[in-house]
């Protein structure tokens, strides 16, 4: 069993760090939250709606409001960086002008401005990871799930990514980041949730005022 007796409530506009060693269940929890996996039992509610009761169409619409940065990136390797990021906005039939503006902005924010027309298959893993993150953030969705978003990044790129997450969080997005990179949450004042062997071990508030 990947997760057992996990009870977690996340408020709107919160940022949470989900920590734990490899195999602790972080990815499973994120997959459950974005409906990629179904729980064998239990209840997952989003906006007070039981997601297991959503129709196919409602589920698709709900997914449009969740940005997910996958650990394995899930990029279209033959398509360019621009096309990959734009895809998240295209499925919502966004205005092409807005798409272009937003994609260019994200690429600039994440240090990918010179890779617009490069197929993602030709990028380094670090660059691919940033494209995946840019796609997750493209719509400024109300919920962003990031699975090990800095796993392949150097310190400078990590700072760019975290800066983007913080900005979106300030704008109202709820963000859940699964990571075992301490540098990402060490300085943060946000909630830290630890998973161990599929069980929610502790919820610690870091950086409290003395």
Residue 30 lies near another protein (rule: CB under 8 A): no
> Quick one: 52 or 98, whose CB is closer to another protein?
98
Q: Compute the least distance from the CB of residue 183 to another protein, in Å.
A: 28
Contact call for residue 76 and another protein (CB under 8 A): yes
Q: How far is CA 1 from CA 4, 13, 99, 198, 203, in A?
A: 7, 30, 41, 7, 21
Of positions 38, 52, 72, 74, contacts another protein by CB under 8 A? 74
- HSE value, Cβ hemisphere, 13 Å, CA-based, for 65: 10
121 binds another protein (CB under 8 A): no
C-alpha 26: how far from its chain's center?
12
Distance CA 42, CA 47 (A): 17
CB of residue 70 to another protein, shortest distance in Å = 8
Q: Pick from 38, 49, 65, 125: which binds another protein (CB under 8 A)?
A: 65
90 binding another protein? (CB under 8 A): yes
> Binding to another protein by residue 117, rule CB under 8 A?
no
Angle subtended by helix axes 96-109 and 125-137, to nearest 10: 140
The yes or no reply on residue 98 touching another protein (CB under 8 A) is no
Rule CB under 8 A: choose which of 5, 11, 56, 205 binds another protein.
56
User: What span, in angstroms and rounded, lies between the C-alpha atoms of 35 and 177?
Assistant: 17
Among 60, 101, 182, 186, binds another protein (CB under 8 A): 60
What does the alpha-carbon distance between residue 136 and residue 112 come to, in Å, rounded to a whole number? 15
């Amino acid at each position: 069993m990947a997760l057992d007796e996990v009870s977690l409530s996340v408020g709107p506009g919160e940022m949470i760090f989900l920590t734990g060693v490899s195999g602790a269940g972080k990815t499973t929890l994120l997959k459950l939250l974005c409906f990629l996996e179904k729980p064998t039992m239990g209840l997952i509610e989003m906006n007070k709606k039981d997601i297991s009761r959503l129709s196919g169409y409602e589920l698709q619409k709900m997914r449009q409001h969740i940005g997910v940065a996958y650990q394995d990136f899930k990029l279209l390797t033959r398509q360019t960086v621009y096309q990959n990021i734009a895809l998240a906005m295209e499925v919502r039939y966004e205005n092409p002008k807005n798409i272009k503006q937003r994609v260019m902005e994200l690429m600039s924010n994440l240090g990918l401005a010179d890779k617009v027309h490069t197929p993602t298959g030709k990028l380094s893993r670090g660059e691919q990871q940033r494209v995946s993150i840019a796609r997750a953030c493209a719509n400024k969705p109300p919920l962003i799930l990031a699975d090990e978003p800095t796993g392949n990044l150097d310190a400078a790129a990590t700072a760019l990514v975290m800066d983007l997450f913080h900005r979106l969080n300030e704008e109202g997005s709820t963000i859940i980041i699964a990571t075992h990179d301490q540098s990402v949450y060490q300085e943060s004042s946000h909630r830290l949730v630890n998973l161990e062997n599929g069980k929610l071990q502790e919820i610690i508030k870091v950086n409290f005022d003395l």
